[in-house]
Structure 1
Amino acid sequence: MSVKTRVLVVDDSALVRNLLKEIINHQHDMECIGTANDALAAREMIRDLNPDVITLDVEMPHMDGIDFLGRLMRLRPMPVLMISTLTEHGADVTLKALELGAVDFVAKPRLGIENGLLELAQQIVEKIRIAAHAQVKRLPSLTLESVKRLRALNGASSERPLQTTQPLRLPSPLLSDKLICIGASTGGTEAVREVLAYMPADAPPIVIVQHMPAGFTASFAARLNELSTVSVTEAMHGEPLLPGHAYIAPGGKHFAVVRRVGRYMASIFDGDTVNRHKPSVDVLFRSVASSAGPNAIGIMLTGMGSDGASAMREMKAAGSYNYAQDQATCVVFGMPREAIAHGAVDSVLPLSQIGPAVLARLRKSIAPSMLLDEPPY
């Protein structure tokens, strides 16, 4: 007999607590072992019941979910699934929760909460299953607050990008041809941030699919933009993809790269889900294989499932060089594992080594005479 995943539900709404309890207890492989209406009650139940996974509301009395999560991850790290409201403020707070170590989140509707949560039941239980097997740890990367403190200590403006890497100084024709593409899912918000932290202001265009619903990707791009030297925005249909910029696929839309009049451009469109996702890494990577071929560098980061694996193999066949995050540093070693199994990956590296490896590869592609003024890498 298999052991069930034991879930503690923490939410200030009695209706939400009862709905989540019902959804969880209808599954053969999990059970709700308790519910708490605030962080204080949750703290006692965690100590007494030792749950495998916690679902945590953001807004609660006495202590909000973010403060509670921060304390929990410092004292007793465990898998946490955030239950967030689909608002701009909710998106910002959710991204803070992911930064603190939450595995994932579910965006609950503001209106029609009962029917809305029941419609999300399958998504909720799938994310609980993923959380139960996730590697819970805080990523060794700078937080927004620590970056601002460092800037203040150095006398730098908090509005000015923090240059952390030497510029590439790629010649213009070569720079316009290179393209970096990234796919990520569960655990990916912090992994993407760490890769971008290494990218200098003259990096080739970077295109990114992070599995995330509509309403959250604009906040995600804005938060990355505050922490990156490159300019990070949500991708817009028809815009040219420029050096020194990173583009996030809008939630609920597909993102493809097309080449027109000798330059890369963004194509944003609706359509069916691909590999169960929209945006889909498969869609982006397949377009990159066609439009960039050997000028592309592919990066597969932490995430559940197989989205992007077959398309990354197409990229490799077209001549790209591809990286995958290793199992030890993934929150969920699903998408990288599938890409490796498809024979799509040239190099498997810890997260902290992917950014430097990409830069080293780009520098090697530059003629030595163009690097006379570069410091040795």
Structure 2
Amino acid sequence: MTTTQRPARVLVVDDSALIRQLLTELIDRAPDMEVVGAARDPYDAREQIKALNPDVLTLDVEMPKMDGLVFLRNLMRLRPMPVVMVSSLTREGADETLEALALGAVDFLPKPQVDIAEGLEAYAEDLLDKLRAAARARPRALPDVRPTAMRRRVRTTERLLAVGASTGGTEAIRVFLQGLPRNCPGVVVTQHIPPGFSAAFAERMNRQTGLVVSEAQDGQRVLPGHVCIAPGDRHLEIERDGARYVCRLSDAPPVNRHRPSVDVLFRSVAVAAGPRAVGVLMTGMGVDGAEGLGAMLAAGADTLAQDEATSVVWGMPGEAVHRGAAAEVLPLERLAEAALARASAEEGRGGAHHERTA
């Protein structure tokens, strides 16, 4: 919503007349939103953007006349605005959607399945939540980050970095991971992401960072310099096995409407690692992760939250700050260095907080 409390103005862009109609009907149900136009291709969208001045755009990737990614790249260069991608749940679609997020799209969701009526209500709720968050978001270009050198020797097998994110998180996680050296403690990540996208996301992070990144497997050891990302639709938990940390995957019910859930990961890390862990909660819509970050803090872990200025949506980290669960609030670009500094401290939270990052 804008400061005048008028409905958020949405432009729907899709080459399918059926999808345009369905998205329009779902969005127009909400009193705080209105569809001001529907475009069949990027050229049509460009003219409607000029004429209608929408607040947020839904955008398909595969369209005639101009590829959706080309259009998005031009849009973010010439007239940056919040964009939610509506894409197919295929492997190729996952790669293209992650590229769209790298170009500046705020969020994404799959295309609605028009022949499955019983799932449409849940889809509509998800769609409207993402559009509301996008209308308030602050899209911005994110940098490539050089790895931070370790300040001191870290007993990496005993240290653990736990990261959670949602809306805007795929690129925020990239920035964080690019800031870590190859000898960093093991990293475990829960990003709200659907099935079929998490493997593509892990492979993308493996290519773009200096770390070994993979989709987590049940029973997998968490090793220094390695990153384990929760699979879509499965909770990731961490268990202690002697001096090792091990990934456990679960099909338990969603928590805070999410599976994987950041709270589930953080609570398990609080038990398994306690003061040997550092928790990092980044950009995202909702409250998932705030309670778990508090559990980590209570267990003696260092806890960091991304600040509002650099978050696409300051829902999850903002809630953690509100609850007092974040011991320190930092811009995205400083989170990796701060996490390493905390992991380097000999006695966890008690000694680490005397070394505030300047």
Match of 1:276 among 257, 264, 269: 257
Displacement of 1:141 after TM fit? 2.9
Q: 3-state DSSP class of the match of 2:263?
A: helix
TM-superposition CA deviations, 1:78-112 (whole Å, max 9, x none)? 01010010000000000000000101001126784
Aligned equivalents of 1:19, 1:356: Cα separation in 2: 46
Partner of 1:106: 109
How far the C-alpha of 1:240 sits from its partner, in A, is 1.0
Which residue of structure 1 aligns with residue 227 of structure 2?
Answer: 246
> Counterparts of 2:92 and 2:109 in 1: how far apart (Å)?
15
What amino acid maps onto 2:110 in structure 1? A
* Whole-angstrom distance in 1 between the partners of 2:95 and 2:195: 13
Task: State the Cα RMSD in Å.
Answer: 2.0
Between 1:27-36 and 1:356-365, the stretch displaced more is: 356-365
Equivalent residue, structure 2, for 1:21: 24
For the 8 Å contact 2:278–2:343, the answer to whether it is kept is no
TM-score (norm 1): 0.87
Gapped regions of structure 2 (runs ≥ 5):
348-358
Aligned to 2:334: 353
Tell me: CA distance 1:115–1:66, structure 2 relative to 1, closer, same or farther (3 Å).
farther
Contact 1:168–1:202 (8 Å) recurs in 2: no
SS in 2 for 1:123: helix
Q: How do 1:300-311 and structure 2 match up within 5 A?
A: 300-311=281-292
Specify the alignment match of 2:239 in structure 1.
Answer: 258
Cα 1:19–1:115 change in 2 (3 A) is farther
Match of 1:152 in 2: none
Moved more, 256-265 or 32-41: 256-265
CA offset at residue 118 of structure 1? 5.9
1:356 Cα deviation from its structure 2 partner:
1.4
Query: How far 1:120 moved relative to its partner?
Result: 1.4
CA gap 1:214/1:271 in 2 versus in 1, 3 angstroms? same
After superposition, the C-alpha distances for 1:231-278 in whole angstroms (9 at most, x for unaligned) are 000000011111110010000000000012331100001011101110
Aligned counterpart, 1:375: none
Please tell me whether the aligned partners of residues 184 and 300 of structure 1 are also in contact (alpha carbons under 8 angstroms): yes
SS in 2 for 1:181: strand
Change (3 A) 1:116 1:11: farther
Mapped pair 1:166 → 2:149: yes
Aligned-pair CA distance for 1:27: 1.3
SS state of the match for residue 120, structure 1? helix
Structure-2 change in CA distance of 1:136 and 1:335 (3 Å):
same
The 5 Å alignment of 1:174-253 reads 174-253=155-234
Cα displacement (A) at 1:226: 0.4
Q: What TM-score do the two structures reach when normalised by structure 2?
A: 0.92
* Deviation of 1:116 (Å): 6.2
Q: Is the contact between residue 10 and residue 57 of structure 1 (CA under 8 Å) also seen in structure 2?
A: yes
Match of 2:124 among 121, 124, 132: 121
Unaligned 5+ residue runs, structure 1?
143-162, 367-377
Q: How big is the shift at 1:359?
A: 2.1
Contact 1:184 1:301 in 2 (8 A): yes
- Number of residue pairs matched? 345
- Aligned partner of 2:278 in structure 1 is 297
- Match of 2:69, SS? helix
- Structure 2 match to 1:321: 302
Q: How many angstroms apart in 2 are the aligned matches of 1:29 and 1:205? A: 43
Q: Which residue of structure 1 aligns with residue 266 of structure 2? A: 285
Deviation string, structure 1 residues 138-167 (Cα, Å, up to 9, x no partner): 22236xxxxxxxxxxxxxxxxxxxx84435
Secondary structure in 2 matching 1:246? strand
Q: Distance in 2 between matches of 1:323 and 1:223?
A: 25
Q: What amino acid does structure 1 have at the position aligned with 2:181?
A: P
- What is the one-letter code of the residue matched to 2:190? V
Residue in 1 that maps onto 2:353: none
Q: Are the counterparts in 2 of residues 19 and 118 from structure 1 also a CA contact under 8 Å? A: no
Taking the aligned partners of 1:292 and 1:182, their CA distance within structure 2 comes to 14
User: Could you say which structure has the larger radius of gyration?
Assistant: 1
* In structure 2, distance between residues paired with 1:123 and 1:19: 14
